[in-house]
Amino acid sequence: MIQLTIDGRPIQVEPGTTVLEAARRLGIRIPTLCYLKEINQIGACRMCVVEVKGYRTLQTACSLPCADGMEVRTNTPAVRAARRMVLELLLSDHQVDCPTCLRAGDCELMRLAQETGLRSVRFTGEKHPARVDTSSPALAVDSSKCILCQRCVAVCREVQGVAAISLAGRGFASRVVPFFDHELGEAACTYCGQCTLVCPTGALTEKDDTEAVWAALLDPEKHVIVQTAPAIRVSLGEAFGLPPGTVATGQMVAALRRLGFDRVFDTNLGADLTIVEEASELIQRLRSGGPLPLMTSCCPGWVKYAEHFWPEFLDNLSSCKSPHQMFGAMAKTYYAQKMGIDPAKIVVVSIMPCTAKKFEASRPELAGSGYPDVDYVLTTRELARMLRQAGIDLAALPEEEFDAPLGISTGAGALFGATGGVMEAALRTASTWLEGEPRRLVFTEVRGLEGVREASLTIAGQELKVAVAHGLRNAARLLERIRSGEATYHFVEVMACPGGCVGGGGQPLPADGPDSLPALRQARVQAIYRVDEAKAIRYSHENPAIKQLYAEFLGEPLGEVPHRLLHTHYHARQPVGIRVR
C-alpha cells in the first residue's frame, strides 16, 4: 500500500491509484470536466490541477499516480487561480447563450464557473467557427459549445466500440467530428446517445421535438395518444428530485393527462405483443433449424450497428418491430377502428429512454398501416422539460391508472427496461408453450450487469444456449465469437446501452456527474424487477388485452396481419467509420 496525505489527511491506497481517486475516497471533491473513470483520464481540461510538494508545476490529479510520501494540496490560492484561468479560457471561446441552451440548469461548465466564483472573463478574441449539425433525426451538435473534453469520443470508442466521432485538427483548429468530416446523419453513428449523457455542455444533445408535440396537443383536429416505455417509470422521478430507482408510474400517468394527451397508454403492452410474436418466431426457428441464433431486434441502436458493421447477421435478427412501433401500428389500425377515428388524425407520441428511437420512428419501412407507426419520440429529458414548462410537479401528483385496454400490461413487459429482460420475458412464454404449462417464472441466469452473460437452459427436454450483451463493444466481442465458431447459441439479446434501456441516451442527466451512471443504472434495474414482481400477471401471453387483440384483429401469431403490421426488415448500410474490436 502507498501512503500519502491530501490536504493534511493521511490515506493508504493501492499502487496505480490516481490522486483524484484517492481524494474522492477521503470525500474531497476535485473538479473535473474531461475525466471519466477508466474511460477518459487524459488531463485535457486541466480543471483537476493540484499542488504536490516537490513538484515545480501544478499536476493533473486525474492522471497523476499516487506515490509514497506524497503531499497534495487541492485548494491553495495557486490551484484556485489556475482553475479560474482554465474556465475563463474555455468561456472565451464558448457560445454563452446559457438561458436558451437546452442544457440550462444541467451544464457542468456553468456549475463549475459558479463554484469557483468566476464573475468575469478577461479574454476576448477569435472563436471557433460554429457548426450546427442537425442532419440526424436523433442527435444535435453545436460545436460552438464544445470544450474539446473528448468524453464523447472516449465513450463512443471505448464503451460502444463504434468510434463514429474523433478529434480532428491541431491546436486552435481542433474539433470533434465524424470521420472524413461527414455530418452526423451520414456517419456510422448508431444514435445511442451515450455521448449526450457525458457531454458537460450543450454541444451534444437529443434533437428536441417538444414544440412539435405541443403543437399537436393544441390542434383540435388531432387525437393525440401517448405511450411510455418501461424504463421511464423508474427514471423520470430523478428529474424532479426523487431518489434513483423510484417507481413513479402513477404520477407519470397523471402528469401526462395534465399535459393534455387524449389517451395515456403503456408501451409495456407493446412489449407483451413483441414477446408473443418473438417467442413464436424462436420456436419456429428452433423447429425449422434456423437461421440461429435468433437475435433480438427491439433496440434500434443495436439494429443500426448491425446494419453498418455486422450485415452478415441481419438474417439472424428477429423480424419483430420494437414494442413502441408495434404499439403505434395497433393504435392506427385496431384502436382507430374500435374508436371510429380516422387514423390520419391520430398522433402517436412515444416517451422513450432512448435517442435512437427518434431515428427508428423515421424509418420508412415502419409504416405497414399506410401511416408512420409513431409520429414523435420524446426522451425522458424532453418529457421532464415539458412538465416543467407546464408547471407540473411530478412528485406532488396523486397516482392514476393507464387507460384501458391498451394500458394493460404484465411484469414480463416491464422487464424490457433492463438488460436481459427481453430474453427473460421471451423465455417465460416460450418455455410455457414448449412444456405445455408455466413451470418457471424467473431466469436469474440472464440477469446482471456483466457485459456478456451466457447460460445453458433445459426446456422441454432440450438444451437451449442463450447469451445477453449490453453495450455495443460487448456485443462486438460476442459476435466475433459467434462468427468464428468459438461459441454457438440459439437465442441472443443485445442492447446498445449499458444496463439496457434504463441506461439509455435519453435518460435524465446524472446530478452527480457521469461517474455516477453505473450506480444510477443499478438502482433503475432493481426498480424494474420490483415492477415485475408487483404485477398480478407476469407472462406476456396471459395479458387479457393481448388475447383480445389476437381474437378480434390479429388472428394467429406470425400470421398475415401480424406479418404486415408487426414485423419488418433490415438492410446493410455503408460503414463510414471504423469498428473497434
Q: Is 409 a catalytic residue?
A: no
Q: Is 540 a catalytic residue?
A: no
Q: Is 299 a catalytic residue?
A: no
- Checking DSSP bridges between strand 462-470 and strand 491-495, what pairing results, if any? parallel
Q: Is 211 a catalytic residue?
A: no
Instruction: Using DSSP, state whether 313 is helix, strand or coil.
Output: helix
- Of 34, 62, 107, 298, the catalytic one is 298
- Of 21, 108, 360, 424, the catalytic one is 360
- Of 51, 238, 278, 493, the catalytic one is 278
- Of 71, 365, 480, 560, the catalytic one is 365
Q: Is 318 a catalytic residue?
A: yes
Strand order in the sheet with 59-60: 9-13, 2-6, 71-73, 49-52, 59-60
Q: Is 360 a catalytic residue?
A: yes
Beta bridge partners of 546: none
**Cell numbers describing residue 400:** 392514476
Q: How far apart are CA 201 and CA 145, in angstroms?
A: 6
How many residues make up the chain in this entry? Answer: 581
DSSP assignments along 345-358, one per residue: GEEEEEEES-SHHH
- Of 143, 235, 318, 369, the catalytic one is 318
Q: How far apart are CA 144 and CA 176, in angstroms?
A: 11
- Of 108, 206, 281, 307, the catalytic one is 281
Other C-beta atoms closer than 10 Å to the C-beta of 455 total 18
Q: How far apart are CA 207 and CA 382, in angstroms?
A: 9
Q: Is 450 a catalytic residue?
A: no
Q: Is 280 a catalytic residue?
A: no
Helix (H) or strand (E) holding 264: strand 263-266
DSSP assignments along 410-460, one per residue: -HHHHGGGSTTHHHHHHHHHHHHHHHSS------GGG-S-SSEEEEEEEET
Q: How far apart are CA 163 and CA 156, in angstroms?
A: 5
DSSP assignments along 32-64, one per residue: -SS-BTTTB----S-TTEEEETT-SS-EETTT-
Other C-beta atoms closer than 10 Å to the C-beta of 103 total 21
Q: How far apart are CA 570 and CA 577, in angstroms?
A: 20
- Of 304, 321, 332, 357, the catalytic one is 357
Supply the residues annotated as catalytic: 278, 281, 298, 318, 357, 360, 365, 501
